[in-house]
Structure 1
Amino acid sequence: MIIFFYGDNNFKAKQKINELKTKFFQEIDPNEHSFNVLDGVMVDLTEISQTVNTGSLFTKKRLTLIENIFANKKVSILEELLNYLQKNNLEKSDDILVLYEPKLKNQKGKIVKVSPNGEKDSPLNAKEKKLFEFLSQQKFTQEFKPLTPAELSGWIKTEVEKRGGTIKSAAVTELINYSNNDLWQINNEIEKLINYKPATEIASSDIEKICSPAIDDNIFALTDALGNKNKPLALKILEDQYHLDVADEYLLAMLLRQFKIILQLKVSLNNGESPSKIGPSLGLHPYVAQKSANQTKYFTLAQLRRISSELTHLDYLNKTGQTDFRTGLNLLIAKM
Structure 2
Amino acid sequence: MVFLITGPDTYRARLKLRELKDKFLKEVDPSGLNMRTVNGATLTLEGVRHYLESQPLLARRRLMIFENVLSHKKLEVLEAVFGALEREQERKEGEDNIVIFFEGEEPTTKNHLHAWLVKHAHLLRFALLQGRELEQWVEDEWRGRGRRIDPRAVKRLIVSTGNDLWKLSNEIQKIDAYLEAGVMMDEKAVALMAEEPFDDNIFSFTDAVIGGDLKKSAPMLMEHLARELAPQQLIALLEKQLRVLLLLAEAPASRSAPTLPGIHPYMVKRLWATARRSDIKRLKKIYADLMKVDIDLKSSTGDFKTLLLTFLTKSSLNQS
TM > 0.5 between the two? Answer: yes
Contact 1:61 1:95 in 2 (8 A): yes
Q: How does 1:84-233 map to 2 (within 5 A)?
A: 84-89=84-89, 94-104=96-106, 113=107, 123-125=108-110, 127=111, 130-138=112-120, 140-197=122-179, 198-213=181-196
Unaligned 5+ runs, structure 1:
105-112, 114-122, 216-273, 287-336
* In 2, Cα distance between equivalents of 1:83 and 1:184: 36
AA in 2 matched with 1:61: R
Distance 1:2 1:154 in 2: 30
Deviation, 1:54, is 2.5
CA contact (8 A) 2:53 2:84 kept: no
CA contact (8 A) 1:180 1:214 kept: no
Paired residue for 1:281?
226
CA deviation map 1:247-270 (0-9, x unaligned): xxxxxxxxxxxxxxxxxxxxxxxx
**Inter-partner Cα distance in structure 2 for 1:6 and 1:57:** 29
Spell out, residue by residue over 1:137-192, the C-alpha distance to the aligned partner (whole angstroms, 9 max, x if none).
Answer: 22522111111211111011111111111211111111111002110010111111
Letter in 1 for 2:19: E
Looking at CA atoms only, which structure, 1 or 2, has the larger radius of gyration? 2
The letter for the 2-side match of 1:98 is I
Cα distance in 1, alignment partners of residues 104 and 61 from structure 2: 26
Q: Matches of 1:101 and 1:30 in 2, distance apart?
A: 26
What TM-score do you get using the length of structure 1 for normalisation? 0.57
Q: How many residues align?
A: 208
> Secondary structure of 1:147's match?
coil
Q: CA deviation at 1:280?
A: 4.6
Q: Secondary structure at the match of 1:69?
A: coil
Root-mean-square deviation over aligned CA pairs: 2.6
User: 1:277: how far off?
Assistant: 7.5
Is the contact between residue 6 and residue 105 of structure 2 (CA under 8 Å) also seen in structure 1?
yes
**Matched residues in 2 for 1:214 and 1:39: separation?**
35
Q: Which amino acid aligns with 1:94?
A: D
| Residue in structure 2 matched with residue 306 of structure 1 by the alignment | none
SS of the equivalent of 2:102 reads strand
SS of 2:32's partner is coil
Displacement of 1:100 in angstroms is: 1.2
Alignment partners' CA distance in 2, 1:156 and 1:206? 15
Change (3 A) 1:81 1:40: same
Taking structure 2 as the reference length, what is the TM-score of the superposition?
0.59
Please state how far the C-alpha of 1:80 moved relative to its aligned partner: 2.6
In 2, the alpha carbon distance for the partners of 1:138 and 1:96 equals 13
1:62: Cα distance to partner?
0.8
Task: Structure 2: give runs of 5+ residues left out of the alignment.
Answer: 199-218, 235-320
Per-residue Cα deviation, 1:211-265 (whole angstroms, up to 9, x for no partner): 12469xxxxxxxxxxxxxxxxxxxxxxxxxxxxxxxxxxxxxxxxxxxxxxxxxx
Report deviation, 1:202: 0.6
Aligned residues of 1:35 and 1:64 also touching (Cα < 8 A)? yes
Paired-residue identity, %: 25
